[in-house]
């Protein structure tokens, strides 16, 4: 019994020893494929397998077609996840330790080392490489590299890239809100927060400045709101009586604020905040504040629902349109405090309707509170739901009333921004960012929204740049084409991108080294680096400056001068230029769909900015996410499977087969069915045995059925070739594995002993067309049958005999007909008589087919042939028109033996005009009369 793993090791050794995949610039046509370098914060898993294997399949396929193929692979370490994980480990977090030990198989003794972020790179890069090697990927490993400043050569390349972008004017500096830990002074991305708070983003709102007097001093009541347009409907202000409020000097004004995290947040949004004194809340409540727009005086009232950690901890009350505000007032009317009661009743009386909303009264908040039977402000869940419903209905459907003046009779979503801008220009409102829910970072501090004022941006909103990017996209092949719209949309909506961080791994921005270029931004044109990665190592990184890269990538200057000026070997310079010019542009990059709106779009932008058109990327292939046995992959579900584990368990060819079979290119999810592994192992071994046992056997003479099968193979080769080009690997397995095998079985069934030539053709061709997917076992087979697996090429198919395929379809059709009849008749028959329709009927059928093909209406045809019974019957069964053949009788005669085998009885074939059967006259073309004899 053969052992797949031994075979895999053998061929991987042969490929390595013969340097089969190390490739250089030459005169041959080239094909350059890439797989986005994986981030090395762990072992590669099956998700990496499915996408990377597609690159591998296409690399091998293109080699069979005669291309000089470059498949190179680097690894990505830029960014913060590794830093964050190392930090968490240092903090003694068990989860991260457990993951390293249990999922990543790190030896417990080694855990200490992972407290140093650079050790992750040291450890996981070789592991990733090992996985790819054991899968048998055809990678030119001389060109391997990893990112960050730990690789000076790469860093120099990134520096060059950013100098180019700055030169073009695509880099800007400006303000940007971020989620921030004020204690550790760090941007808090998803990796820096507890899982429960992943994905929470800042919200953009407004502070509206009401005024009131406290101890004869003018104090601002900064009301935070998401709905500045409701300012006309304010009946009162809410503060939370259960907490401490203070007065602070905010820039030149005095603000009332809760003594909470919001002070820190305001401080971090470009304001000076100085806390002056505590406030006696009793002296604030029931005071009157002035609406800055309408100048109305409204009372300040207490409410428990006000969250003192969100926004400014003070809100304005619009009971007509905000359920919280309405119920807050209702609650107060039930208060024992007579004063509260009185004021609240007055406020309710003053409720002002601002919008017209179909299906609601003037006071939608009241409507919904009553409808949902909300009885107090403590029913938070219901109130959130009510608020959301009213808010979204009003936002999209309601019209503003007359009070809005120039903004009246419009929908809120149309005027909201403009209206807010107006308030800001009147200096009665300010933009303010806060969080929908206050939470702590991994460093155990409450986080806030901070405005960074010196952030560096890639200006993707630059129209000129966008135009270039769209032009680049338009000359690219997108597989499948359906994904092009995602690209167009993504390029269109990309705006300024803050491309630098602090405290992460990566390359420092060359002109402002405090900042590190973040990970999506240092991985946009690195495919160009593959072309020279093996050569550039020979140059001292210190010598790599703009001029050197200008020469390599843009052909500027000349090598002699640069060589002299910087002491760089001229030959290496020339060779790098040659490699780049030969391999670029990149022909195909394959990726999951998740990278369309970010990485792949960035790649397009940056190529379009830096390189001349002839070096713009040529193509992108897209596939969906990976499901494992129909379920999403996740560490917690326990179906996070490292590639190395899977190879150990199943072997490389089985994994590759499963990966191909997981799905076609597209936006839909792939599904890898691991429970098929055993079955596939059986398939592969069976196939191996079959080939070895049967190659060169068989009979010499060639009959019709042999020609038929030969043509079936040819047709499938053509189809499979096309599927490869479209990255539809599931279809390839379907056709090259299952369909071809089914046809072979059919062939075998009808011939007993196959023709030697055809059998050999089948064995050779099937191995070669599956070689890109399962190269180890097919190489082994090819070698065993005397071929040189290092020197194979795609089978050339000159001509397919369509006629013979058509006859087969016809026979299949007749067989299925007979089966139908036998189903009814039972199995005790002795003979089957097939009576073929006469020539005259065939001529009619052909004519009708022509007419239908040319677009004639069936109704018209029925009218036209109303006096012709045969024609009418044919028209009623347009199906048979697809099986028309010229020589029905002859074809049936040729297949007579086959039919006898199929039905295990005597078969007689007659012509209608020579038959005595009554049924003979019922025969139609492609639908002979069948007589069962018992």
Partner RNA sequence: GCGGGGGUGGCCGAGUGGUCAAAGGCGACAGGCUCAGAACCUGUUGGCUUAGUGCCUUCGUGGGUUCAAAUCCCACCCCCCGCACCA
# chain residues binding RNA, by CB under 7 A: 90
260 in contact with RNA (CB under 7 A): no
* Per-state percent for the chain, helix, strand, coil, to nearest 5: 50, 20, 30
Neighbours of 182 (CB within 10 A): 17
- Residues 856 and 20: their CA atoms lie apart, in Å, by 58
By CB under 7 A, name the one of 179, 383, 435, 740 that touches RNA: 179
175 in contact with RNA (CB under 7 A): no
167 in contact with RNA (CB under 7 A): no
258 in contact with RNA (CB under 7 A): no
Neighbours of 735 (CB within 10 A): 19
337 by DSSP, 3-state: which?
coil
Candidates 152-160, 284-292, 401-409, 874-882: pick the segment binding RNA (CB under 7 A): 874-882
Q: List, in order, residues 6 or more apart from 443 with CB less than 8 Å away.
A: 181, 183, 184, 186, 192
905: Cα separation from own chain's centroid: 57
In the complex with RNA, the residue whose CB is nearer, 213 or 396, is 396
Neighbours of 753 (CB within 10 A): 10
Site for RNA in 702-741 (CB under 7 A): 730-731, 734, 738-739, 741
Site for RNA in 509-548 (CB under 7 A): 518-520
5 in contact with RNA (CB under 7 A): no
Give the Å distances, CA to CA, from 257 to 222, 247, 314, 595.
8, 6, 7, 43
28 in contact with RNA (CB under 7 A): no
Site for RNA in 561-600 (CB under 7 A): 593-595, 597-599
By CB under 7 A, name the one of 106, 171, 178, 219 that touches RNA: 178
In the complex with RNA, the residue whose CB is nearer, 17 or 869, is 869
In the complex with RNA, the residue whose CB is nearer, 306 or 740, is 740
Site for RNA in 458-487 (CB under 7 A): 460, 482, 485-486
Residue with tokens 């190390």: 22
Site for RNA in 69-88 (CB under 7 A): 76, 78-81
In the complex with RNA, the residue whose CB is nearer, 546 or 851, is 851
The total number of residues written for the chain in this structure: 934
> From the CB of 519, what's the least distance to RNA, in Å?
4
- Exposure letters 383-406 (e unless 16+ CB within 10 A, then b): beebbeebbebbeebbbbbeebee
Site for RNA in 367-406 (CB under 7 A): 392, 396
Neighbours of 37 (CB within 10 A): 22
In the complex with RNA, the residue whose CB is nearer, 547 or 741, is 741
105 in contact with RNA (CB under 7 A): no
In the complex with RNA, the residue whose CB is nearer, 477 or 537, is 477
By CB under 7 A, name the one of 46, 188, 318, 620 that touches RNA: 188
Site for RNA in 213-252 (CB under 7 A): none
Candidates 254-262, 347-355, 497-505, 761-769: pick the segment binding RNA (CB under 7 A): 497-505
Strand runs (DSSP E) across 657-802, as ranges?
670-672
934 in contact with RNA (CB under 7 A): yes
920 in contact with RNA (CB under 7 A): no
884 in contact with RNA (CB under 7 A): no
54 in contact with RNA (CB under 7 A): no
By CB under 7 A, name the one of 190, 296, 309, 890 that touches RNA: 190
By CB under 7 A, name the one of 375, 376, 474, 745 that touches RNA: 745
Residue 67 near residue 782 (C-beta atoms within 8 A): no
In the complex with RNA, the residue whose CB is nearer, 752 or 859, is 859
Evaluate the CA torsion angle 192, 195, 196, 201 in order and state its sign: positive
Per-residue contact string for residues 814-853; x = within reach of RNA by CB under 7 A: ---x-xxx-xx---------------------------x-
In the complex with RNA, the residue whose CB is nearer, 234 or 892, is 892
In the complex with RNA, the residue whose CB is nearer, 245 or 433, is 433
- Residues 216 and 740: their CA atoms lie apart, in Å, by 93
By CB under 7 A, name the one of 47, 189, 642, 754 that touches RNA: 189
280 by DSSP, 3-state: which?
coil
- Residues 659 and 652: their CA atoms lie apart, in Å, by 10
> From the CB of 442, what's the least distance to RNA, in Å?
12
By CB under 7 A, name the one of 494, 644, 773, 870 that touches RNA: 494
Q: What separation, in Å, do the N-terminal and C-terminal C-alpha atoms of the chain show?
A: 49
In the complex with RNA, the residue whose CB is nearer, 184 or 554, is 184
> From the CB of 567, what's the least distance to RNA, in Å?
36
570 by DSSP, 3-state: which?
helix
In the complex with RNA, the residue whose CB is nearer, 120 or 583, is 120
DSSP structure class, residue 734:
I
- Exposure letters 544-553 (e unless 16+ CB within 10 A, then b): beeebbbbbb
Strand runs (DSSP E) across 182-318, as ranges?
186-187, 203-214, 217-225, 236-239, 245-250, 253-258, 273-278, 288-290, 297-302, 314-317
Neighbours of 540 (CB within 10 A): 11
> From the CB of 836, what's the least distance to RNA, in Å?
12
In the complex with RNA, the residue whose CB is nearer, 538 or 857, is 857
> From the CB of 819, what's the least distance to RNA, in Å?
5
Evaluate the CA torsion angle 355, 360, 365, 366 in order and state its sign: positive
Neighbours of 824 (CB within 10 A): 7
Site for RNA in 648-707 (CB under 7 A): 663-664, 666-669, 671, 673, 676, 679, 682-683, 686
803 in contact with RNA (CB under 7 A): no
In the complex with RNA, the residue whose CB is nearer, 342 or 860, is 860
By CB under 7 A, name the one of 164, 501, 606, 776 that touches RNA: 501
416 in contact with RNA (CB under 7 A): no
By CB under 7 A, name the one of 555, 878, 886, 908 that touches RNA: 878
Evaluate the CA torsion angle 33, 39, 44, 49 in order and state its sign: negative
- Residues 913 and 920: their CA atoms lie apart, in Å, by 8
């Amino acid at each position: 019994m053969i052992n797949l793993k031994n075979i895999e090791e053998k061929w991987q050794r042969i490929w390595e020893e013969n340097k089969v995949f190390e490739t250089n610039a030459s005169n041959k046509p080239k094909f350059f494929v890439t797989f986005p370098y994986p981030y090395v914060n762990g072992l590669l898993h099956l998700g990496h397998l499915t996408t990377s294997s597609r690159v591998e399949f296409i690399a091998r396929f293109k080699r069979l077609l005669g291309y000089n193929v470059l498949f190179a692979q680097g690894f990505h370490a830029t960014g913060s996840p590794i830093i964050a994980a190392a930090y968490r480990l240092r903090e003694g977090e068990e989860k991260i330790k457990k993951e390293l030990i249990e999922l990543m198989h790190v030896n417990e003794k080694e855990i200490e080392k992972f407290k140093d972020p650079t050790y992750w790179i040291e450890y996981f890069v070789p592991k990733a490489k090992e996985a790819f090697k054991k899968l048998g990927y055809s990678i030119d490993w001389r060109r391997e590299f990893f990112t960050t400043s730990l690789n000076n050569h790469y860093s120099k390349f990134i520096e060059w890239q950013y100098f180019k972008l700055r030169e073009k004017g695509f880099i800007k500096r400006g303000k940007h809100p971020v989620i921030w830990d004020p204690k550790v002074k760090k941007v808090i991305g998803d990796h820096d927060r507890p899982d429960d708070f992943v994905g929470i983003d800042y919200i953009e709102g407004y502070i509206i400045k009401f005024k009131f007097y406290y101890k004869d001093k003018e104090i601002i009541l900064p009301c935070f709101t998401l709905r500045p347009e409701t300012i006309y409907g304010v009946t009162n202000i809410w503060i939370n009586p259960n907490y401490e409020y203070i007065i602070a000097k905010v820039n030149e004004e005095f603000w009332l604020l809760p003594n909470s995290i919001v002070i820190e947040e305001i401080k971090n949004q470009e304001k000076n905040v100085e806390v002056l004194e505590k406030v006696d809340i009793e002296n604030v409540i029931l005071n009157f504040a002035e609406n800055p727009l309408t100048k109305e005086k409204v009372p300040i009232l207490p409410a428990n629902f006000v969250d003192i950690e969100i926004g400014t901890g003070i809100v304005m009350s619009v009971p007509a349109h905000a359920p919280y505000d309405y119920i807050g007032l209702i609650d107060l009317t039930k208060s024992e405090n007579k004063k509260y009661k009185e004021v609240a009743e007055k406020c309710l009386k003053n409720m002002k309707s601002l919008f017209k909303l179909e299906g609601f009264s003037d006071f939608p908040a009241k409507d919904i509170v009553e409808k949902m039977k909300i009885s107090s402000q403590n029913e938070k869940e219901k109130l959130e739901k009510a608020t959301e419903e009213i808010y979204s209905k009003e936002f999209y459907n309601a019209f503003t009333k007359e009070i809005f003046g120039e903004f009246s009779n419009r929908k809120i979503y149309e005027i909201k921004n403009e209206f807010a801008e107006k308030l800001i220009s009147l200096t009665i409102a300010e933009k303010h960012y806060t969080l929908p829910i206050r939470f702590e970072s991994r460093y155990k501090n409450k986080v806030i929204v901070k405005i960074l004022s010196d952030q560096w941006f890639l200006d993707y909103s630059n129209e000129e740049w966008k135009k270039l990017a769209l032009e680049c996209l338009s000359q690219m092949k997108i597989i499948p084409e359906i994904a092009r719209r995602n690209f167009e949309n993504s390029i269109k909506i990309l705006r300024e991108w803050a491309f630098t961080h602090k405290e992460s791994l990566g390359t420092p921005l060359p002109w402002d080294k405090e900042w590190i270029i973040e990970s999506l931004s240092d991985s946009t044109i690195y495919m160009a680096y593959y072309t020279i990665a093996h050569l550039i190592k020979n140059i001292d990184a210190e010598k790599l400056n703009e001029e050197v890269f200008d020469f390599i990538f843009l052909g500027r200057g000349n090598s002699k001068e640069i060589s002299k000026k910087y002491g760089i070997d001229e030959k290496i310079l020339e060779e790098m230029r040659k490699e780049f010019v030969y391999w670029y542009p990149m022909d195909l990059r394959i990726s999951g769909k998740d990278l369309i709106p970010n990485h792949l779009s960035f790649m397009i932008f940056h190529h379009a900015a830096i390189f001349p058109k002839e070096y713009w990327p040529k193509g992108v292939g897209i596939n969906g996410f990976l499901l494992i046995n129909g379920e999403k992959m996740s560490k917690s579900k326990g179906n996070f499977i490292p590639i190395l584990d899977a190879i150990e368990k199943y072997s490389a060819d089985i994994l590759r087969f499963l990966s191909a079979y997981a799905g076609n290119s597209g936006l839909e999810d792939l599904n890898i069915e691991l429970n098929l592994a055993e079955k596939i192992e059986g398939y592969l071994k069976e196939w191996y045995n079959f080939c070895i046992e049967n190659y060169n056997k068989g009979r010499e003479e060639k009959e019709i059925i042999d020609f038929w099968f030969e043509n079936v193979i040819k047709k499938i080769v053509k189809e499979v070739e096309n599927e490869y080009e479209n990255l539809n690997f599931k279809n390839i397995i379907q056709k090259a594995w299952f369909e071809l095998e089914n046809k072979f079985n059919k062939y075998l069934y009808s011939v007993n002993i196959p023709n030697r030539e055809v059998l050999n053709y089948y064995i050779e061709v099937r191995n070669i067309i599956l070689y890109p997917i399962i190269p180890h076992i097919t190489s082994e087979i090819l070698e065993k049958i005397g071929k040189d697996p290092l020197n194979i090429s795609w089978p050339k198919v000159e001509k397919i005999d369509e006629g013979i395929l058509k006859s087969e379809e016809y026979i299949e059709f007749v067989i299925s007909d007979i089966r139908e009849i036998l189903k009814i008749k039972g199995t005790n028959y002795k003979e089957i008589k097939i009576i073929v329709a006469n020539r005259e009927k065939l001529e009619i059928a052909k004519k009708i087919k022509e007419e239908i093909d040319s677009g004639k209406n069936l109704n018209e045809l029925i009218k036209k042939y109303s006096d012709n019974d045969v024609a009418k019957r044919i028209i009623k069964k347009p199906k048979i028109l697809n099986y028309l053949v010229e020589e029905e009788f002859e074809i049936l005669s040729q297949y007579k033996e086959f039919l006898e085998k199929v039905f295990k009885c005597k078969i007689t074939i007659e012509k209608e005009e020579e038959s005595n059967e009554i049924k003979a006259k019922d025969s139609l073309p492609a639908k002979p009369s069948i007589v069962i004899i018992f």
